[in-house]
Structure 1
Amino acid sequence: MDFSQRYQLILSRILDDIGLTTISIQRRRRTWLMKEAISSVKASLQDVKDVDRMLESMRYKKYYFGSQSEATTTLSMGSDIDMLYCYENFQVILELCGWKDGVVNFLAFRNSKTPPQHCNLLCVKHEGPVPETRTNKNCYFKDNRGLVFFMNTVSIIFLKTLCLPSEELKKHGPSMSWNDNMDYVKAFNCPVFPDECKFVFRRPRPGHWPSPFLLDEARACGTFVVPQWYSESPQKQQKFKNVGPVTDDYTVTESVGSLLEWRYSTSRMERLFVFDWSIQQLKVYILLKLIRKTFLKPIFGDRLSTFHMKTTMMYTVENYPKDIWRDNNIIQCVTYCLSTLLRWSRLRFCPHFTIANVNLFTGKIHAHEIPQLVNILSEIISSNIKCVFQIEIDNIGDRLRNRVAGFNFSLPSWVFKNGAVAILMAGEYSSEYFKCFLQILEGLDQMTYNDAILTVRRYSSILKKWSEVGDDRHIEAAKVFGPIIACTGASMRASRCIKLTRNISKQITERYGFGDNRSSVSNRLKYASMLYCSNQFNAAAESLYLCEQIIGKTPVWQMCLVDRRLNKPPVSDLHCKVMMLSNEDIFDSVIVTSVVFSRHELHCVPRFLIYDMFRTFTTDDKLDRHPYGDIWMDLAVVDPLPFMYYLQFITYHALGSSDQMVDCFNKLFAYVSYEHNKYGGHYEVAISLLGHCCELLGRLDMAWFNYKTSFTTIPRNNAAIWHMCRIVHGFTVRRQAN
């Protein structure tokens, strides 16, 4: 069967159905760029001491590259997340005259033997533009000329501090990872383009793409230098004098030369080019990726990567007329791209789009595999790309067969798939805020109370500064962080007042600052908790009533945003509602996040929940904790709905209102008892809260049952063990007294 224009149009509509629409693509890109902005604002809070020099004082910036931020993936494609940390207090210079005071300078060192796209990083003295000759640290190598070079093992040494001993670090090019969903790259900025990276600006081209305006934007992107040796550098085990930690297998199995090689990366420029593609060109690129994953990856693995497909696509967009990229010509465009890749395969040379003299097949596709690649590509092209009927990802093959045959079929609708993209992106957006907030709280907990209060005050000044000098994304990030930071500071001050038995001033309570949207629910619950802990029970009951009114009866997405706790997606009837909302609007009107208390807020936390700050009970608990992902375990973290019901129960218990107590108990019981744990999240904490309610009602048997159930659900780092010990201790004391 030949692909007529009608069939190609059907295929294009199918790609719309699985989420490749303009609105979903823009949402994906906006989300990942917002995550970068959120991270930058958080970094400024932790790094900046002088608010007036905020932008110059930041130590690192985080970037997301690849399929996720480019929006060149689908819900079922399983694309990983590529995260790059660029350390702003380091820079790579091309000449010693580029030396800059106040940062760590490396000179990009090259000679006649240096591979293309690579360099060595020669250390330069802090005092001035002179090569360094002193070193006594790991990750530095001193050659026989006395020159000191920075080794590319630094990423491994750094990442090993962030993972458990049982987790294996895997290397994928310059990136490292301990899980299959996230790749980490440590990078330095090279503000001046090396000569080979100017290739994209100098070589001849037809002229319609990239446009002169786009190339001008690309010139401002700069270059990264990432830790990656050349694919054909010698990698035999050699004996050499302590060039790195002897416990590092990576170090002892590679040659000295390969450990000194760093690679130029133009990721920002490449992302800029992909952002300029039309929706039709993006559909062609995603079809190329689906073909690679379905038919080429089983044979060549990830050695024939999506980057080969991206490069193929860029050259095809550059060399073919602009008017061919149409919905009814989508298969023909895929053919043009595969023909480009086929031509390179026959030449055994795949050029880099932005860097000169680079063969992307080097170290990837072996010489004996080239004929096989040529045969497969030739067969796919000669069959008029009929292989799309066999693509199982996102049911594309089934959808296409059914649409061509005119059958009705029950597969997820356009609304459902695009709504699912909106929900996924809202989760990423909210997760970035919440995880950054946890890191901020963890930092505050390491300080004394006075230092923490001063730091929160400085945070507020920095957020105000962002609203003055930031772009729209940084302003939005600062706007969301503002109420969270203000509420934390107010809660810390109120906690100190309660500890010292002082009245909590109106100035403090006003700093809790919450509105009438759902994003303020967590702050309102912290305010109600403060009222309860300061014995203002009637005011607490009124605040909790208002909180329950805000949540209301409409669908609510209670989002748990920590690792190792289940974050269940919202009910399906939210898909239509959220699809046309921005992430910020979803965050304000649909999502309620967990309530978090730091140890500086100890006296604003119901005594029962304080045990959660000390949930790491045994040595096994400590070994089970992830050094980076589980920092929240030193805080009291509870989901908003069960916490609201629990606060209402203990408030009405203090007021002696038995009818309201029973009502709140039943709500909490229904929450915990819901079949298959509808809400996910910190479910074990909710069960323990129900157990404490049983204790207050004098039902120790039911309390024990709930604590035991909680402990069975999460047997490590669970405060339920403390509560079981309390019951046993109380029973023992009473027995001895009798």
Structure 2
Amino acid sequence: MSRDHRTVSLKLSKVLNDIGVNERMILKRRRTVLLWDTMDTLGTDRLLGKNISTYRFGSQTEGSTTLGLHSDTDTLFCYNKYNVIQDWGEWQPGKLNLLMIQDETTSPGYCLLQCLKLDEPLPFPTALLNHELGRYLRVSRGKVLVKNTAHRDSAIPGSVSNGPASSIQGGPGFADHDSVPAHHCNSWPVEARPWLLQQGLGRWPSEDIKRYCETTGCFVVPVSSKNGQNEQLEWRISTSQAERCLMFNINITQLRCYILMKMILKTFINPRCNGVLSSFMCKTVLFHCIQNTRSNNWVQSNLLPCLMCCLTVLQNFVRQENCPHFIIPENNLMAGRISPHNKHKILEILQNILQGGDCALQEIPTDDLGMRLQVKMNMDEGFQYYQTPAQIHNKISTGLLLNTTIAISMNHDHFLNEIMHDGNEMVRERLLNFMFSLTRMYREVGISSLEKSALKLLAPLLSSSLGSVIASYDIYTTHSISPEALTWFSVCLNSDVASGRLKLASALYCIGDMERAEFVLRNTEENYDLNSVEPVCGCHYHPMYYQRQGFKHKCNTGNEEVIIKHIIAFCVRFLRCEICCVPEELQYEMFRSTQEDRLERDEIFDFWMDSAVVDSLPYLYFLQYKTYGALQRVADQQRALANLVTTIETEQNLGHRETALNLIGQCMEQENRHIDALRCYMKSLNIRCRNNAANFLICKLLSLSVNMQ
């Protein structure tokens, strides 16, 4: 290796370190995404009994991305009620057993799924196939096979069908999201067994890694091959868990090579060649190179030659129009994808990059990589406008924490949606069961496990709901709050900066205990640092604008649980069975929808509209306004009202701004400022014209005005 290559490699490694491709940020990305998976699986699978496990695969989980690559999130939903088998001996009674079949009609890396009987290990009889089952099953060569279109009915509303995936485009600050249904097979794919015995020059992967990969089995995903004969019947065999294990066992130089390949793809190749090459192909190229190259080559001072090696292998694959899947090499990832015209262009581009060495890298705009490299090489010392490494690392940490808190909020939302239409007593019983299940699981899992962290994040918001449900019943029957309710409230007081305390204060206000309510509210206001606390709402999608500097600074310190306690304010949610803990002004939000409005709602995502939901900061000031009014502390009451108005004008990241405006409007009515109240309601309708309590509040205000005249 020439001295120039060594110099460029070291400078390039430093640039990648600066933009977040370093061990610390990679481990942080991996832990965060695995924590999301764990929360979703514990919530959906274990607590709600949906029998679905959640897995996030791809760049976000691997840590093989940067801010500028804008990598999407690939979520796989595994339906555990199916038992996918490759051998009749794996058949299980009482389960929906599906036998993987590979014959002369199936493409390499793909299979058919034969439906078997529930009560004995025999094929499902073709005679029992009726019209209803015909939507999901088809008879072929005397076998009842599952169609790969069976899951299309469950596509996410608002999404776009993209093969097996439901794709939702992310807004500002959010990644695009692909949701893929799948079934799991516990046994390692037959086609992949030769891979377990292979050994390359790099002696990678190790025997231990291969043994672990074998235990992960495989998934079957509902999509056919490009050139398959069974378009509606083929299922792709996915070894995503094994591939994730491989990515977790590569070194930093290898990961940086992969990221550079993706940047080259994004900058030079895919814009000119219709996106025919995928990042998965680049990952496959990397795996082949690591397997066939001595391990001592993969060091930071050799990054550029390692990258050129990868690009040379990619060039050969394109030339041969064959990119063999790393684990199932008979599966050609490029089959039928590259036209002669695109092939010529790709080979030409790759050849120019290989001849130019680091020159092409200096042209990459993603994350300012090219310009940063020029600065490191002392070619453009005057270029200083880009973000510092500390700012970039803070930005990555901020995004990860915000997504974690949204995951917590959404899980809480899903729990409440599952029970919200049950009777009051049933809601209480189910919330108690959730809490007891969480406690039992917490005791069973390891001390430092992801499960323990996930459970500690999920429990407080559920505890808050349980305390409020019990308190609402107490208030209805005895106009007091029982010690049981107060105990559950106490568990959630530090769930975040405000929401747990505000639910307690709301209940205290509703029983007329103004002194204690005022104390809790004052304590909440003292903890709510306006320079560092951000509101978080997982009820619906809304853009997250610029975060506070104090918030971004603190995101990069401590673990999730500690950080959330000090800089996150979840929105405050009340089910209808909590109505006695809710001031009259907020109760209107529980009945915001007319029958006509309901036709405009998304039945999957808009269930929160049957509850009262408000952002923490406006609710804090509203409760202070009401409490100080009851205590006849006029100056404090007016200060709270002024803070409430200021919050609406200055806080960019509110998820329920229309509700806050409705609360201000009702405060204005109580101040006899009816014109100001009407303005608030009209502003609220400008944000959400349907399914908004403002429609009723305006009618009520106009009726009052007419009667006064």
**Normalised by the shorter chain, which TM-score bucket?**
over 0.9
Q: Distance in 2 between matches of 1:105 and 1:734?
A: 71
Out of 139, 148, 151, the position equivalent to 2:147 is 151
> Residue 231 of structure 2: SS of its match in structure 1?
helix
Q: Where does 1:101-116 land on structure 2 (aligned, <5 Å)?
A: 101-116=93-108
Q: 1:624 to 1:325 in 2, by over 3 A?
A: farther
Match of 1:680 in 2: 654
Q: What letter corresponds to residue 325 of structure 2 in structure 1?
A: H
Q: Distance in 1 between matches of 2:390 and 2:595?
A: 48
Q: Does 1:439 align with 2:414?
A: yes
Out of 393, 414, 419, the position equivalent to 1:418 is 393
CA drift at 1:90: 0.7
Q: Distance in 2 between matches of 1:27 and 1:302?
A: 30
Match of 1:243 in 2: none
Q: What letter corresponds to residue 157 of structure 2 in structure 1?
A: C
Q: Does 1:177 align with 2:167?
A: yes
Q: Indicate if the aligned counterparts of 2:167 and 2:177 stay in contact, CA closer than 8 A.
A: yes
Match of 2:609 in 1: 633
Q: 1:6 to 1:206 in 2, by over 3 A?
A: closer
CA drift at 1:628: 2.5
Q: 1:200 to 1:625 in 2, by over 3 A?
A: farther
Q: 1:712 to 1:348 in 2, by over 3 A?
A: closer
Q: Indicate if the aligned counterparts of 2:531 and 2:548 stay in contact, CA closer than 8 A.
A: no
Q: 1:138 to 1:384 in 2, by over 3 A?
A: same
Out of 536, 558, 562, the position equivalent to 1:585 is 562
CA drift at 1:83: 0.5
Out of 151, 157, 161, the position equivalent to 1:163 is 157
Q: What letter corresponds to residue 319 of structure 1 in structure 2?
A: N
CA drift at 1:561: 2.9
Q: 1:605 to 1:530 in 2, by over 3 A?
A: same
Q: Does 1:387 align with 2:388?
A: no
Q: What letter corresponds to residue 103 of structure 1 in structure 2?
A: K
Match of 2:204 in 1: 209
Match of 2:16 in 1: 15
Out of 431, 439, 442, the position equivalent to 1:467 is 442
**1:216-246 residue CA offsets vs partner (Å, 9 max, x unmatched):** 2212211000101121025xxxxxxxxxxxx
Out of 114, 118, 122, the position equivalent to 1:126 is 118
CA drift at 1:551: 1.9
Q: 1:438 to 1:144 in 2, by over 3 A?
A: closer
**1:679-713 residue CA offsets vs partner (Å, 9 max, x unmatched):** 43322222222211111111111111111112123
Q: What letter corresponds to residue 150 of structure 2 in structure 1?
A: V
Tell me, which stretches of 5 or more residues in structure 1 are unaligned?
49-57, 235-256
Aligned residues: 695
Q: Indicate if the aligned counterparts of 1:425 and 1:583 stay in contact, CA closer than 8 A.
A: no
- Choose between structure 1 and 2 for higher RCO, CA contacts under 8 A separated by at least 6 residues: 1
Q: 1:342 to 1:385 in 2, by over 3 A?
A: farther
CA drift at 1:264: 0.4
Match of 2:298 in 1: 325
Q: Distance in 1 between matches of 2:228 and 2:141?
A: 21
Q: Distance in 2 between matches of 1:679 and 1:199?
A: 53
Q: TM-score, normalised by structure 1?
A: 0.90
Q: 1:712 to 1:368 in 2, by over 3 A?
A: closer
Q: Indicate if the aligned counterparts of 1:556 and 1:570 stay in contact, CA closer than 8 A.
A: no
Q: Does 1:29 align with 2:3?
A: no
Q: 1:523 to 1:673 in 2, by over 3 A?
A: same
Q: Indicate if the aligned counterparts of 1:311 and 1:352 stay in contact, CA closer than 8 A.
A: yes
Q: 1:15 to 1:618 in 2, by over 3 A?
A: farther
Q: What letter corresponds to residue 110 of structure 2 in structure 1?
A: H
CA drift at 1:345: 2.2
Q: Where does 1:183-582 land on structure 2 (aligned, <5 Å)?
A: 183-234=178-229, 257-404=230-377, 405=379, 407-408=381-382, 409-471=384-446, 472-514=449-491, 517=494, 519=496, 521-552=498-529, 555-582=532-559
Q: 1:144 to 1:62 in 2, by over 3 A?
A: closer
Q: 1:473 to 1:669 in 2, by over 3 A?
A: same
Out of 639, 643, 652, the position equivalent to 2:628 is 652
CA drift at 1:357: 1.0
Match of 1:240 in 2: none
> Residue 586 of structure 1: SS of its match in structure 2?
helix
CA drift at 1:306: 0.4
Q: Distance in 1 between matches of 2:137 and 2:688?
A: 47
**1:444-501 residue CA offsets vs partner (Å, 9 max, x unmatched):** 1121112212211211221022213335111111122222222211111111122234
Q: Distance in 1 between matches of 2:275 and 2:93?
A: 42
Q: Distance in 1 between matches of 2:688 and 2:219?
A: 43
Q: Indicate if the aligned counterparts of 2:460 and 2:492 stay in contact, CA closer than 8 A.
A: no
CA drift at 1:207: 5.0
Q: What letter corresponds to residue 86 of structure 1 in structure 2?
A: C
Which deviates more, 365-374 or 301-310? 365-374
Which deviates more, 656-665 or 31-40? 656-665
Q: Distance in 2 between matches of 1:385 and 1:118?
A: 40
Q: Indicate if the aligned counterparts of 1:483 and 1:513 stay in contact, CA closer than 8 A.
A: no
**1:358-389 residue CA offsets vs partner (Å, 9 max, x unmatched):** 11111322355333322222221111142111
CA drift at 1:152: 0.5
Q: Distance in 2 between matches of 1:679 and 1:144?
A: 55
CA RMSD after TM alignment: 2.1
Q: Does 1:708 align with 2:704?
A: no
Q: Indicate if the aligned counterparts of 1:518 and 1:592 stay in contact, CA closer than 8 A.
A: no
Tell me, which stretches of 5 or more residues in structure 2 are unaligned?
171-175
Q: What letter corresponds to residue 422 of structure 1 in structure 2?
A: S
Q: Indicate if the aligned counterparts of 1:555 and 1:571 stay in contact, CA closer than 8 A.
A: yes
Q: Distance in 2 between matches of 1:363 and 1:306?
A: 17
